[in-house]
């Protein structure tokens, strides 16, 4: 995938009307500190277009990045660690739900899981919830550079078991540091969702 231009076209808050896009959308969901902004920046070949923050839970909006005028990368609010009230978390949940329900152009949902740890209860909840909306999430196991190479298969297996993934579900190990996994993600997106 050659990225010619990137445009943060729409930012939707809790009360915003979702855009009625005509181009395909590829969405990314994940826990607050799982490295979602780093992944999106890496995919877009930009250093800090998606805001990376030391404080988990900074993405409180749904951000639509127009890529090459061909499709959108959609950054969903992080869940889990954010130091916000339960009420606020519920609002974000509703916002994500509204998006998953109403987008006519959503082609795929990628769910990011930290490869170093077994999936949390929140991860499992999010996975089951995406499935319940009718999508088969593709799993990206982030922070690959933080584990030894010899641990990779064991940790991928732990992610599969922790989420209860059906056989054949794609799990793509990824590192924003080494860019390992980046081409695999683009290849999958181009082959399966941008036809």
* Tokens at 182, concatenated: 């980046």
Q: How confident is the model at residue 141, as a pLDDT? A: 98
Residue 52 has pLDDT above 60, yes or no: no
Tokens 């993600």 sit at which residue? 185
Task: Quote the mean pLDDT of the chain.
Answer: 90
The Cα diameter of the chain in Å comes to: 47
Contact by Cβ (8 Å): 6, 175: no
How confident is residue 82, by pLDDT bands cut at 50, 70 and 90? Answer: low
Q: What is the pTM of this model?
A: 0.92
Q: How confident is the model at residue 48, as a pLDDT? A: 73
């Amino acid at each position: 995938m050659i990225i010619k231009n990137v445009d943060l076209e729409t930012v939707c808050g809790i009360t915003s009307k979702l855009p009625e896009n005509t181009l395909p959308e590829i969405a990314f969901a994940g826990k607050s500190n799982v490295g979602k902004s780093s992944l999106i920046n890496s995919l877009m070949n930009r250093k800090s277009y998606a805001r990376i923050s030391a404080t988990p839970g900074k993405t409180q909006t749904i951000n639509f990045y127009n890529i090459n005028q061909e499709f959108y990368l959609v950054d969903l609010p992080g869940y889990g660690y954010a130091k916000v009230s339960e009420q606020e978390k519920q609002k974000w949940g509703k916002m994500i739900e509204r998006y998953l329900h109403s987008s006519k152009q959503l082609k795929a949902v990628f769910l990011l899981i930290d490869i170093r740890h077994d999936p949390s209860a929140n991860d499992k909840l999010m996975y089951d919830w995406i499935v319940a909306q009718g999508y088969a999430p593709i799993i990206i196991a982030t922070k690959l550079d933080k584990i030894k190479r010899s641990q990779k298969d064991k940790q991928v297996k732990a992610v599969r078991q922790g989420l209860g993934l059906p056989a054949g579900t794609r799990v793509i190990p990824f590192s924003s540091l080494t860019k390992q996994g980046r081409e695999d993600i683009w290849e999958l997106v181009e082959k399966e969702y941008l036809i």
